[in-house]
A and B are shown apart, each in its own frame.
Chain A
């Protein structure tokens, strides 16, 4: 047999409200990507309830594992390693995936690879095309909004992040004000396409020379506008409100991203995270990148913007190639973060 042996990673993801197990070939091909989502359950409570999430994960995890192995049509002997999200996320939720991955790795003598969930989101883009370094990632999700510099493979450095709410959090909060059901992001995105930016909400941190974001001022301004209208009995267009809110969020994201493009010499800009599925943001970045010749825009596939184990397998493959292995005492780290970028002196 002259064929080079394919390298298969079995990956686990359970950081929030999706239980997912995947099998990934050579870090770039999805053989299976089973996702059990709990959205319907948490909809009952208007947001993710951590204890409920943890209980669902344990109901699902071995079933997802079985389905992932069956769909990929592989045995444990075919695997090269086991990758697992160990943070950031909900601690009780993370622990289910970590415990399961440890047992599979130990039982079948496979290396265990610890993966940062946010690196996973970035590597969702690996299923679109190869990542070229140095690169910059704009990560926008329910819990995170940050710009991450990737000088080379498996190195992630934050250059800026949100000072208060994550963009996805702001979407959920104003969704509640608009009376939308959780999660509101997709509905607001659709409403925004029907409305116009008539309210001119504030764009925070525009003048400051950094890469940080802030959405709390926008959120307050939005809530005040709606409350004031309620008090005087005025009816505001929900579509225009959504459009104005979304435009403000996108302007802030694009402005800081452009600042990063002007400051760092990079080959690729990667859009990743749950909010990366937002059509307004995707369109905005398409326009922005046209002004920056030599920089390629790499967007995570729409289907892989939400949480899934395929992206953990892709990031895990790179971590494994770079020698990152955990032992059986691996713990969940709910507040795991990338290191901060430091200017060389």
Chain B
């Protein structure tokens, strides 16, 4: 099975082509200021470099969130359109799981996180068992304090992601003496689409049309509206005319 994996959920852009579990080609840039400009030319180049065409891909795997809303939409729109227009498979994988999968530490709670501003983070908790990655704390939008509270029962914790370094001091301050805390080093700070592809091979394909990013956060307008309109949640808000 040929796989194209796409991660544009934060500033780095990473894409990879896999043949089953084998990496065929990959490119990761951390300077990409604008995924809208760079993503498609990078995909075209990568395919071209290995003599492949879009139609040769059997499955499109995309990092579905959390992350930057705009970045997620570019990646997800691109992946779902490829899958739909070429009648191929589509799989979404947690953007946090992509970071966690690169860490080979058993018996440790792996906590990938992204800065969500105002003292909040997007984070989840993962455990590695051989090559299996298990999600033990669901991905969520949470205050840093609350996240650390949820990791209390773990002795060894491995924080992953470039944003984790911003919180190093705060994290160390709040952890108990019995806990051993490690932060990712440079090469594991950024998502590698190869890991995204590996995770995506294991998943079942999703229904394409209804596939959307997992923002893990309502827009402010919607959450305010919901406070006063509990009864109307099931209504559809978009209509064909």
- From 40 to 81 in chain A, residues with beta carbon under 8 angstroms from any chain B beta carbon are 40-41, 44-45, 49, 51-52, 54-56, 58-63, 65-67, 76
List A contacts of B55 (CB < 8 A): 107
Give, as a whole number of angstroms, the nearest-CB distance from B7 to chain A.
Answer: 15
**Are the CB atoms of A329 and B54 closer together than 8 Å?**
no
The answer, among B34, B44, B81, for a CB contact under 8 Å with A100, is B81
Could you tell me the distance between the alpha carbons of A319 and B208 in the complex, rounded to whole angstroms? Answer: 32
Could you tell me the distance between the alpha carbons of A52 and B219 in the complex, rounded to whole angstroms? Answer: 7
A279 contacts partner chain B, Cβ-Cβ < 8 Å:
no
**Are the CB atoms of B237 and A41 closer together than 8 Å?**
yes
Total A residues in contact with B, Cβ cutoff 8 Å = 45
With contacts A40-B239, A49-B221, A51-B219 known, is A331 near B81, CB below 8 A? no
**Are the CB atoms of B240 and A36 closer together than 8 Å?**
yes
Could you tell me the distance between the alpha carbons of A329 and B45 in the complex, rounded to whole angstroms? Answer: 12
Residue of B nearest to A46 (CB): B221
- From 227 to 270 in chain A, residues with beta carbon under 8 angstroms from any chain B beta carbon are none
Could you tell me the distance between the alpha carbons of A65 and B235 in the complex, rounded to whole angstroms? Answer: 23
Q: Mark A307-336, 1 if CB is under 8 A from B, else 0.
A: 000000000000000000001110110000
With contacts A66-B209, A76-B85 known, is A103 near B78, CB below 8 A? yes
Residue of B nearest to A43 (CB): B237
**Chain B binding surface, main DSSP class:** helix
- From 23 to 67 in chain B, residues with beta carbon under 8 angstroms from any chain A beta carbon are 34, 36-41, 43-44, 54-55
**Are the CB atoms of B219 and A100 closer together than 8 Å?**
no
List A contacts of B240 (CB < 8 A): 34-37, 67
List B contacts of A92 (CB < 8 A): 69-70, 73
B195 contacts partner chain A, Cβ-Cβ < 8 Å:
no
The answer, among A67, A96, A108, A328, for a CB contact under 8 Å with B44, is A328
**Are the CB atoms of B219 and A49 closer together than 8 Å?**
yes
B186 contacts partner chain A, Cβ-Cβ < 8 Å:
no
- From 1 to 44 in chain A, residues with beta carbon under 8 angstroms from any chain B beta carbon are 19, 34-41, 44
Most buried by A among B81, B86, B219, B225: B81
Could you tell me the distance between the alpha carbons of A59 and B207 in the complex, rounded to whole angstroms? Answer: 12
The answer, among A62, A63, A99, for a CB contact under 8 Å with B36, is A99
Most buried by B among A60, A99, A328: A99
List A contacts of B154 (CB < 8 A): none
- From 97 to 142 in chain A, residues with beta carbon under 8 angstroms from any chain B beta carbon are 98-100, 102-104, 106-108
Residue of A nearest to B44 (CB): A328
**Are the CB atoms of B82 and A107 closer together than 8 Å?**
yes
The answer, among B76, B222, B229, B239, for a CB contact under 8 Å with A36, is B239
Residue of B nearest to A101 (CB): B81
B212 contacts partner chain A, Cβ-Cβ < 8 Å:
yes
**Are the CB atoms of B215 and A55 closer together than 8 Å?**
yes
Could you tell me the distance between the alpha carbons of A10 and B44 in the complex, rounded to whole angstroms? Answer: 21
B1 contacts partner chain A, Cβ-Cβ < 8 Å:
no
Total B residues in contact with A, Cβ cutoff 8 Å = 42
**Are the CB atoms of B238 and A99 closer together than 8 Å?**
no
**Are the CB atoms of B238 and A56 closer together than 8 Å?**
yes
Give, as a whole number of angstroms, the nearest-CB distance from A23 to chain B.
Answer: 14
**Are the CB atoms of B73 and A329 closer together than 8 Å?**
no
With contacts A37-B239, A49-B221, A92-B70 known, is A62 near B41, CB below 8 A? no
Give, as a whole number of angstroms, the nearest-CB distance from A319 to chain B.
Answer: 20
B131 contacts partner chain A, Cβ-Cβ < 8 Å:
no
**Are the CB atoms of B237 and A96 closer together than 8 Å?**
no
A166 contacts partner chain B, Cβ-Cβ < 8 Å:
no
The answer, among A39, A52, A106, A332, for a CB contact under 8 Å with B40, is A106
Residue of A nearest to B225 (CB): A44
**Are the CB atoms of A99 and B70 closer together than 8 Å?**
no
Q: Mark B218-241, 1 if CB is under 8 A from A, else 0.
A: 010110010001000001111111
Where the two chains meet, the residues of A that have a C-beta atom closer than 8 Å to any C-beta of B are 19, 34-41, 44-45, 49, 51-52, 54-56, 58-63, 65-67, 76, 91-92, 95-96, 98-100, 102-104, 106-108, 327-329, 331-332
Taking A36-B239, A59-B238, A106-B54 as given, write out 14 further A-B residue pairs in contact, using a Cβ cutoff of 8 Å, ordered by the A residue number.
A19-B238, A34-B240, A36-B238, A49-B219, A52-B221, A58-B77, A67-B240, A95-B70, A99-B74, A100-B77, A328-B44, A329-B37, A329-B40, A331-B34
Q: Give 17 CB contacts A-B under 8 Å.
A: A37-B240, A37-B241, A40-B236, A40-B238, A40-B239, A41-B238, A44-B237, A58-B73, A59-B212, A59-B238, A61-B77, A62-B209, A95-B70, A99-B73, A106-B43, A108-B85, A331-B34
